[in-house]
């Protein structure tokens, strides 16, 4: 049975808005791969979530003060990353509790701000869940420039990042400047969150980094292979999710994430490489 016979019009897949969505999504997938690996290696999934929620707060302030919302998201995510870096040094409250508080406070405050400024949060669901099918040519350019910058930083720090992912104290004892590398990585995460906001949405950005990396872990035996597989899986998830969205009208962000989950389930059938 052909697609046409099923009542599905494939011509949508060659429309320019769809091509733009694919290009933007693939740009995000490219950086989501290596960043996701470090999130998995360093057990920072919750931290990524917190950054994303801070991004929403930034969007709220961006709308409130009439500045670029991507810029607002970057600034607030960066500020939150710095705050966390400072708070990690105290020992009164456990770090994950702290993340839980900051993450959801930022989310709540962000939702309220966006709601107050625009009259209704529901008008901005795209920020939460992504609206990749409406990206403009400029959005695509922004994503690729951002992706190139983030990738450049990650490649520059690659050896040090791997060393501190394996054992932070050991890396530090052997001369790696851990606070600086950690800061630089948090900043790239914050930047990626803001760039990916429109594509997969703030609520699901962590999923697009963590799930492909978790799948890649199962089939890789070197850090580099894992980063490449992770980008590849994220890319496949983007393509599959967008096609699903275009053909059946499902929301784009969740469709991409669901595709990534499906890839992960498939990798479970393979033997875990170590």
Residues that bind other proteins (CB under 8 A): 40-41, 43, 91, 159-160, 162-163, 165-167, 169-176, 217, 220-223, 225-226, 273-274
DSSP state of 251: -
Q: How far apart are CA 274 and CA 263, in angstroms?
A: 19
Question: Rounded to the nearest 5 degrees, what angle is found at the Cα of 77, between the Cα atoms of 93 and 17?
Answer: 140
Q: Least distance to other proteins from the beta carbon of 160, Å? A: 8
CB atoms within 10 A of CB 159: 13
H/E segment holding residue 86: helix 69-87
Choice between 136 and 177, CB closer to other proteins = 177
Supply 38's token pair. 């470090």
CB atoms within 10 A of CB 90: 9
Q: How far apart are CA 57 and CA 104, in angstroms?
A: 11
Q: Least distance to other proteins from the beta carbon of 182, Å? A: 14
Choice between 65 and 174, CB closer to other proteins = 174
Question: Rounded to the nearest 5 degrees, what angle is found at the Cα of 79, between the Cα atoms of 74 and 83?
Answer: 150
Choice between 44 and 106, CB closer to other proteins = 44
Choice between 127 and 226, CB closer to other proteins = 226
Q: Least distance to other proteins from the beta carbon of 181, Å? A: 12
Q: Least distance to other proteins from the beta carbon of 118, Å? A: 41
Q: Least distance to other proteins from the beta carbon of 40, Å? A: 6
Choice between 202 and 214, CB closer to other proteins = 214
């Amino acid at each position: 049975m052909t697609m046409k016979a099923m009542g599905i019009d494939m011509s949508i897949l060659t429309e320019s808005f769809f091509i733009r969505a694919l290009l933007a999504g693939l740009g995000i997938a490219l950086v989501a791969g290596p960043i996701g690996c470090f999130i998995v290696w360093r057990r920072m999934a919750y931290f990524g979530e917190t950054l994303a929620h801070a991004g929403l707060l930034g969007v709220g302030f961006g709308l409130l003060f009439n500045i670029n919302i991507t810029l607002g998201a970057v600034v607030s995510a960066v500020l939150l990353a710095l705050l966390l870096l400072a708070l990690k040094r105290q020992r009164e409250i456990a770090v994950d509790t702290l993340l839980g508080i900051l993450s959801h406070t930022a989310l709540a405050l962000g939702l309220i701000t966006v709601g107050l400024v625009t009259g209704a949060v529901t008008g901005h669901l795209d920020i939460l869940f992504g609206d990749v099918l409406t990206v403009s040519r400029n959005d695509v350019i922004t994503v690729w420039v951002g992706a190139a910058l983030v990738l450049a930083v990650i490649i520059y720090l690659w050896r040090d990042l791997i060393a501190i992912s394996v054992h932070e104290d050991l890396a530090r004892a052997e001369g790696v400047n851990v606070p600086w590398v950690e800061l630089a990585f948090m900043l790239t995460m914050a930047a990626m969150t803001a760039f990916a906001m429109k594509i997969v949405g703030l609520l699901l950005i962590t999923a697009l980094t963590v799930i492909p990396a978790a799948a890649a872990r199962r089939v890789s035996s070197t850090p580099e292979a894992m980063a490449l597989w992770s980008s590849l899986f994220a890319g496949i998830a983007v393509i599959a999710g967008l096609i699903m969205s275009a053909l059946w009208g499902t929301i784009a962000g969740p469709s991409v994430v669901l595709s990534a989950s499906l890839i992960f389930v498939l990798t479970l059938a393979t033997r875990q490489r170590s």
